[in-house]
Structure 1
Amino acid sequence: MVGTPQDIKEITIAFDVMGSDHGPEEVVRGAAQLSLEAPHIHALLVGDRDAIDGVLAETKHRAERISVQHASEFIAMDEKPGEALARKKNASVGVAAQLVADGEAHALVSAGNTGACVLACARSFQLIPGVRRAALAAVYPTRGTRGEKEDPFSLILDVGATVEATAEDLVTFAVMGSAYARIISRNERPKVALLSNGVEPQKGPPRVVEAHARLSTMPGVNFVGNVEGVDIPKGTVDVIVTDGFMGNVCLKMLEGVHDTVVELAQYAYKEKLRWRAGLAMLSSGIQRIKDITDWEQYGGAPVLGFDRIFIKAHGRSKARAITNAGKVAAKAVAHQLGTAIQEGLPR
C-alpha cells in the first residue's frame, strides 16, 4: 500500500503498458527513462510480463525503481470500450486502474483506447464530492508565458469525456482546469474563459450564458469571459472551458491542420526551388503549428474530476512523451490536485 500524498517520499505511477499504437515497447522505454531521471518516482508496469521483461532487458533502467504486474489481456484501439472491458476481465488498463484504486499506486498513465481508459477509471475511481462528471483536458503550448507561469502550456476541457455539459458542469470544469493550471503550470492566477461564438456575455447557448453568469461571481476563479476559436492557439487565456463535443472537434482540427501543413511542406520542398525559399520564410510559422499539437512535450492529457490521478497519453506517444506523462502525474499527486479541486468547488 502506498502512502498518502502528505507523507509519501516515493510516488508510484501505474503504467498501462499495452494498447498503444506502438505496443509495449515505447511505454516501457519511457518508464525506464523515468527511472533514470526521477529518483522519487517508482514505475509499476502493467501488462504482459514476458513482453515487458524483454524490453527492459534491452533498455537501460534502474531496476529498483520498476516493478511489473502481469495482465494477460489488453484493449485495442478499435474495440468498443464497454464490451471489451466486460469481456476482458484481465485487461491491462482495468488492472492498472484497480491497482490505483486499491492504493498500490498513486496515479495511472495510459496511451491506450481513450474510451476504455475513461470507463476503467469511472468504474474503479470515485468522483470528487461536488463533481457530477469528469472531464478530459487537452494540454497545448501557446505563444508565450506572459510572465505569469513557469511554462507556456494552456488547457482546454472537456475534449471528449462529457459530450453534453450543463451549466453546472461547465462551472465545475472551470474550477478543475484552474486548479490543474495552478499546480502543473505554477500559474497563481490562471485566466479562465468559456468557448463561445462571441465575447459578449449573452453569446452562446443557454448553458454557456448561465455558466458565464455563475463564473462571474466566483472569486476563486480568475474568469475573464468568453473567447472564440481563434483564441485557442493564441494563448489568450490559460484555461478554455467547453463541452466534450465542441472540445473534441477543436482538438481534432488542430491536429489536422498540423498534419496538412507538414504534408504540403514536404510536397513543396520536393517541387521547386522558389517554393523552398518560401518555406524557409514560413518555417517559424510551420514550427508554431507543429508545437500546438506536439504531445511529446507535455506527455498527455489529464482526466479531471476523479479522486485519483489519470494522465491519458496520446496513442502515438513515443518514450519521451511517456516519461513526461509520468512526471506530470507525479507532480499532480505531490501537490494534491484532487484536494485543490474540491476546495475550489462552489458550496
Structure 2
Amino acid sequence: MALKPVTIAFDVMGSDHGPVEVVRGAAQLSLESPHIHTLLVGDRAVIDDALAQIRHNGERISVQHAASFIAMDEKPGEALARKPDASVSVAARLVAEGEADALVSAGNTGACVLACARHFQLLPGVRRAALAAVYPTRIRRGDKEDPFSLILDVGATVEATADDLVTFAVMGAAYARIISRNEQPKVALLSNGTEPTKGPRHVVEAHARLGGLPGMRFIGNVEGVDIPKGTADVVVTDGYVGNVCLKMLEGVHETVVELAQYAHKESLRWRAGLAMLSGGIQRIKDITDWEQYGGAPVLGFDRIFIKAHGRSQARAIANAGKVAAKAAANELGKSIQQGLAR
C-alpha cells in the first residue's frame, strides 16, 4: 500500500551542528522516502551551498528563505519578538497555513515551543501542551519493537492539574499507538509510591480518573526506578518533576560512559574486562541510541511538531522527519481528540 504523501518543514538553522547536518538529513530523506517532501526553512544561500555538495533528489526538496534564526543561548520570548522572520517562526507559520504537514527543529527548545504556541491552536479539551521525551528501556514494545518509553511533560507545563495529567495520558497513549505501533500502551503516573493514595493531590485525583477511563490501559503509579526498566510505555507527570527526572537520567547515562572511558585508559586489566563485556556494551549502545528515534513531540496542538535533540546529526534529523511524517499521515491530532472525547 502506497504511503500517504506528506510535507515536512525543517527549521534548518539554530542546531548545535549548524545547518549542514539538517540539510544532510533532509537529503537522506529525499533519497530514502519517496512519500516525504522536505521544505527547508532558513538562509537560502547557506542551504543552496549545502545542497550543492550533497547527493539528493531535488524534486523532493524545496527551500523557503528566512532571514534570521534563534541561537541556543538566546531568551526565547525576547528573541522571537526581535526576530519575527526567524527560521523557526517562518516554519511554524508555513505549517499553520497548510504549506507543510509537520515541523521538525533541533533548535532552541523554548523558542520552538513558543513559536508553535503563537502559530498553532490547542486541540479542543487541551488546556496546556506537553513536551514529551523518549528514554531507552531494557524491553521492547509494540510491532515496531520500540525500546523507548515516552515521558511527558518534561518542561512545557511546570504546574499541572489533575485535568492536565489525564490529558497528557490520553495524548501520550495516542502517540505510542501511532509511532510505536503499540495498540495497548501501558500508561502510568510518576509518583513516590505505587499505592493509589501516594503523591500530591492532583496525582491522586488523576489516578482515580484514569482508572475508569475507557480504552486506557492504566497500570497505576510507578516510581523513578521503573522508567529505565520499561514498566510503563507512557509515563505521565508535570513539567517540573519530568524535567528534573529527565536531566537526572541523562546525567547517569553520561557518567556511565565517562567511567567506561576512564577505565579503558587507566588500566590494562580494566581494558581486558571491558573487552570481555564488549557484546553487552554494544547491546547497551544499541538500546540507548537515541538517534534511531530522532526526536520527541510537543503534544496538544492542532499541528505536529517534533523536537530533535540539539546535538542531532543527519541520521537523527532524517529519523525525526520520518516520525513527523508518520504522525501526520496517521492523523495524530484526530486520534488524540477521539481519546479526549471518551
TM > 0.5 between the two? yes
Structure 1 pair 78–313 and aligned structure 2 pair: CA distance change class (3 A): same
1:86-165 matches, within 5 Å, as: 86-145=81-140, 150-165=145-160
What SS class does the counterpart of residue 146 from structure 2 fall into? Answer: coil
Q: Which amino acid aligns with 1:110?
A: S
Pick one of 282, 291, 296 that aligns with 1:296. 291
What SS class does the counterpart of residue 194 from structure 1 fall into? Answer: strand
Give the percent of matched residue pairs that are identical in Structure 1 and Structure 2: 83
Unaligned runs of 5+ in 2: none
Correspondence for 2:212: 217
Unaligned runs of 5+ in 1: 1-7
What SS class does the counterpart of residue 156 from structure 1 fall into? Answer: strand
Query: Residues 71-109 of structure 1: CA distance to partner in whole angstroms, max 9, x if unpaired?
Result: 010000010000000000110000000000000000000
What SS class does the counterpart of residue 152 from structure 1 fall into? Answer: strand
Structure 1 pair 235–287 and aligned structure 2 pair: CA distance change class (3 A): farther
Correspondence for 1:47: 42
1:251-262 matches, within 5 Å, as: 251-262=246-257
User: Distance in 2 between the 1:23 and 1:271 partners?
Assistant: 35
Once structures 1 and 2 are overlaid, which stretch shifts more, 153-162 or 90-99? 153-162
Query: Residues 233-259 of structure 1: CA distance to partner in whole angstroms, max 9, x if unpaired?
Result: 111111000011111111111221122
1:271 offset after TM fit, Å?
1.1
Q: Conserved in 1, the CA contact under 8 Å of 2:5 and 2:35?
A: yes
1:288 offset after TM fit, Å?
5.9
Q: Conserved in 2, the CA contact under 8 Å of 1:254 and 1:293?
A: no
1:330-341 matches, within 5 Å, as: 330-341=325-336
Correspondence for 1:27: 22
User: Distance in 2 between the 1:58 and 1:146 partners?
Assistant: 39
1:220 offset after TM fit, Å?
1.8
Q: Conserved in 2, the CA contact under 8 Å of 1:254 and 1:292?
A: no
Correspondence for 1:309: 304
State yes or no: 1:12 paired with 2:7: yes
Q: Conserved in 2, the CA contact under 8 Å of 1:141 and 1:291?
A: no
Q: Conserved in 1, the CA contact under 8 Å of 2:142 and 2:181?
A: no
Q: Which amino acid aligns with 2:153?
A: D
* TM-score (normalised: structure 1): 0.94
1:120-269 matches, within 5 Å, as: 120-145=115-140, 150-269=145-264
User: Distance in 2 between the 1:179 and 1:142 partners?
Assistant: 20
Correspondence for 1:329: 324
1:336 offset after TM fit, Å?
0.5
**RMSD between aligned residues:** 1.7
Aligned residues: 341
* TM-score (normalised: structure 2): 0.96
User: Distance in 1 between the 2:287 and 2:200 partners?
Assistant: 28
User: Distance in 2 between the 1:259 and 1:333 partners?
Assistant: 33
Query: Residues 181-221 of structure 1: CA distance to partner in whole angstroms, max 9, x if unpaired?
Result: 00001111000000001000000110100000000010121
1:267 offset after TM fit, Å?
1.4
1:146 offset after TM fit, Å?
5.2
Pick one of 42, 62, 65 that aligns with 2:60. 65
Structure 1 pair 269–131 and aligned structure 2 pair: CA distance change class (3 A): same
Q: Conserved in 2, the CA contact under 8 Å of 1:16 and 1:108?
A: yes
1:268 offset after TM fit, Å?
1.1
User: Distance in 1 between the 2:223 and 2:112 partners?
Assistant: 30
Correspondence for 2:71: 76
User: Distance in 1 between the 2:227 and 2:100 partners?
Assistant: 34
Q: Conserved in 1, the CA contact under 8 Å of 2:143 and 2:180?
A: no
1:280 offset after TM fit, Å?
3.4
Q: Which amino acid aligns with 1:168?
A: D
1:278 offset after TM fit, Å?
3.0
Q: Conserved in 1, the CA contact under 8 Å of 2:6 and 2:325?
A: yes
Q: Which amino acid aligns with 2:52?
A: A
Structure 1 pair 321–149 and aligned structure 2 pair: CA distance change class (3 A): closer
1:279 offset after TM fit, Å?
2.6
Structure 1 pair 57–73 and aligned structure 2 pair: CA distance change class (3 A): same
What SS class does the counterpart of residue 135 from structure 2 fall into? Answer: strand
1:274 offset after TM fit, Å?
1.3
Q: Conserved in 1, the CA contact under 8 Å of 2:9 and 2:95?
A: yes
User: Distance in 2 between the 1:221 and 1:144 partners?
Assistant: 21
Q: Which amino acid aligns with 1:263?
A: E
Q: Conserved in 1, the CA contact under 8 Å of 2:39 and 2:63?
A: yes
User: Distance in 2 between the 1:146 and 1:55 partners?
Assistant: 38
